Amino acid sequence: MSSSPGRATIRRATCTSTRNGKLVVKWDLENWQPMKGEASARVLQLIRELEDEGVL
Amino acid sequence: MKIRKVELNNRKGEFRVVTYSGDTYVFPYVKAEPQPDAANKVADAVVDRELAKEAFSYVLESGDEGIVHLDQVLEYNEDPSYLRDLLIYKLTLEAKQRVEESGLSRRELARRLRTSVPQLYRLLDTANDKKSLDQLISLLQVLDCNVDLRVTHKDHGA
């Protein structure tokens, strides 16, 4: 997800991003709101890119 | 909530998930993707530390891998705390939308709610689950909404 180690899991209409074993954000893809944590502009950009690629 | 350990049971076709709070949940293979079956059983399942222990990974005999997030497990088991947090989230979304539609300033809303502006922002923060249902209901009523609660029997297997 970024230059630092990070992972994202996709579950239905949410996307969970972690970095170094800690939650960054759990993002509601349907309503485009955070459910947990905070999303930086970079993380949101990556989520949008994954949506555009059809991964999400 | 985090996962302490996960066990696989190919005979029963289910994962057994234990959280640090001591709760145990069952998650059937049929709900996992890729779905294990008799011809392609689960070879291993481990708590995923990279995913903040909020998910577990599993590997099939074929080598295919899958991830199951704790939310999937909690939703399947209809965990009351999980469902409560989901309800709070949905009400917060509703309140946020109606705040935007109302055209009222945050200060005016806080005044009507007899609270502070920072507290109002905390109420409208979708990532904040440390708020009560009655606070949200009060906010929605200040926003000129009727909030009706309907209790019905769960519809299992329909």
- Residue range A29-48, pLDDT digits in tens: 989 999 999 999 999 999 99
Q: Counting beta carbons within 10 angstroms of the beta carbon of residue B125, is it exposed (0 to 12), middle (13 to 18) or buried (19 or more)?
A: middle
Contact B51 A7 (CB under 8 A): yes
- What is the pLDDT, as a whole number, of residue A2? 31
Is the pTM here over 0.90, yes or no?
Answer: no
- Identity of the residue in A7, A25, A38 whose CB atom sits nearest the CB atom of B50: A7
- Residue range B76-88, pLDDT digits in tens: 999 999 988 998 9
Task: Calculate how close chain A gets to B18, using CA atoms only, in Å.
Answer: 19
DSSP H or E segment with residue A42: helix A41-52
User: In degrees rounded to 5, what are phi and psi of residue B22?
Assistant: 95, 0
Q: Please report the number of interchain residue pairs, chain A to chain B, with beta-carbon separation below 8 angstroms.
A: 43
First-to-last CA distance in chain B?
30
Residue B100's alpha-carbon distances to B34, B73, B93, B123, B133, in angstroms, are 42, 34, 11, 14, 20
Q: Measure the CA–CA gap between B31 and B48, rounded to whole angstroms.
A: 18
Q: Angle CA(B89)–CA(A44)–CA(B65) in degrees, nearest 5? A: 85
DSSP H or E segment with residue A37: strand A33-37
Task: Calculate how close chain A gets to B43, using CA atoms only, in Å.
Answer: 21
Could you give the ipTM of this predicted complex? Answer: 0.78
Q: How many residues does chain B have?
A: 158
Interface residue ranges in chain B relative to chain A, Cβ cutoff 8 Å: 49-55, 67, 69, 71-72, 89, 93, 96, 126-127, 129
Helix (H, G, I), strand (E, B) or coil at B86: helix
Kindly give the residue spans of alpha helices, DSSP state H, lying in chain B.
70-76, 80-102, 106-113, 117-124, 133-142
- Identity of the residue in B50, B55, B127 whose CB atom sits nearest the CB atom of A34: B127
Contact B71, B55 (CB under 8 A): no
- Identity of the residue in B53, B72, B127 whose CB atom sits nearest the CB atom of A35: B127
- Residue range A9-28, pLDDT digits in tens: 544 588 888 888 888 999 99
Please give the torsion angle defined by the CA atoms of residues B134, B137, B139 and B141, in that order, rounded to the nearest 10 degrees: -130
- Residue range B103-142, pLDDT digits in tens: 899 999 999 999 999 999 999 999 998 888 888 999 999 9
Contact B54 A38 (CB under 8 A): no
| Amino acid at residue number B22 | G
